[in-house]
């Protein structure tokens, strides 16, 4: 039996990384083998590309180059990590996937949706998550959380946090638009509550989707 592929999406500071780990732990406790992973990253090659994308100044790449980097990393991630895990029956929980490219490089940086769609089709051949949980949070709160995390981590991976509030508001609206476009796949989760409250909402959405 193949595994399930669940992605968590949202802007900066919405708590995706924490909730990916919590969801994987809950699934494991239910006897479901689960793998927590992330994008950009999730494989040796993709983690090397991650450094190119999330470090440095905002103008380091133009939108199309940034998108191609994202999909180079994603192709390696799917081939070396996600695909083999799903084939082995493992559930994969990823912090970001293709929706982030449509939000960040599309809505945020102005690359046409159709351009991204064509790249996505060429690279992934219509491969998509079984369920996407979009963590929604007001931009000011999210950026405050993200900047606090960066300060604690040394600040190396802060390239996208340097874009202005307008950029981040466009991301939020893009993710909500994705939820509207793909209601059969996406669920919006209010990320303004406590970590436990958000986790409970996520577990409930996953349970309903997969009859757990």
Output the six-digit token pair for 187.
């669920």
Instruction: List pLDDT tens digits, range 18-47.
Output: 999 999 999 999 999 999 999 999 999 999
What residues make up the domain containing 88?
A: 5-210
In the chain, the number of structural domains is 1
Please state the rounded mean pLDDT for residues 103-126.
97
The whole-number pLDDT of residue 146 equals: 81
For residue 135, give the CATH number of its domain: 3.40.50.300
Closest to 63 in 3D by CA, of 110, 97, 9? 110
Cite the beta strand spans of the chain per DSSP E.
5-10, 34-38, 91-95, 131-136, 186-190
The DSSP code for 58 is G
CA 108, CA 86: separation in Å to the nearest integer?
A: 31
pLDDT band at 152 (very low <50, low <70, confident <90, very high): confident
Instruction: List pLDDT tens digits, range 69-110.
Output: 999 999 999 999 999 999 999 999 999 999 999 999 999 999
Across the chain, what does the average pLDDT equal?
A: 95
What are the angstrom distances between the C-alpha of 207 and each of 84, 85, 93, 166, 210?
Answer: 24, 21, 14, 35, 5
Give the residues across from 134 on adjacent strands.
Answer: 9, 188
């Amino acid at each position: 039996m193949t595994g399930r592929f669940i992605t968590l999406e949202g802007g900066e500071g919405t708590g995706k990384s924490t909730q990916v780990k919590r969801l994987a732990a809950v699934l494991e406790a239910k006897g479901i083998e689960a793998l927590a992973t992330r994008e950009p990253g999730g494989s040796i090659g993709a983690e090397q590309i991650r450094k190119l994308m999330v470090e440095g100044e905002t103008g380091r790449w133009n939108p199309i180059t940034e998108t191609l980097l994202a999909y180079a990393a994603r192709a390696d991630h799917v081939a070396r990590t996600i695909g083999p895990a799903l084939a082995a029956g493992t559930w994969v929980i990823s912090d970001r996937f293709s929706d982030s490219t449509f939000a960040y490089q599309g809505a945020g940086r102005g690359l046409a949706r159709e351009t991204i769609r064509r790249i996505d089709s060429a690279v992934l051949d219509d491969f998509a998550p079984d369920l996407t949980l979009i963590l929604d949070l007001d931009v000011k709160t999210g950026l405050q959380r993200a900047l606090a995390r960066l300060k604690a981590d040394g600040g190396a991976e802060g390239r996208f946090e340097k874009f202005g509030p307008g950029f981040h508001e466009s991301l939020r609206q893009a993710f909500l638009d994705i939820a509207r476009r793909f209601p059969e796949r996406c669920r919006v989760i209010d990320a303004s509550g406590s970590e436990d409250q958000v986790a409970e909402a996520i577990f409930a959405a996953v349970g309903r989707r997969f009859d757990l």
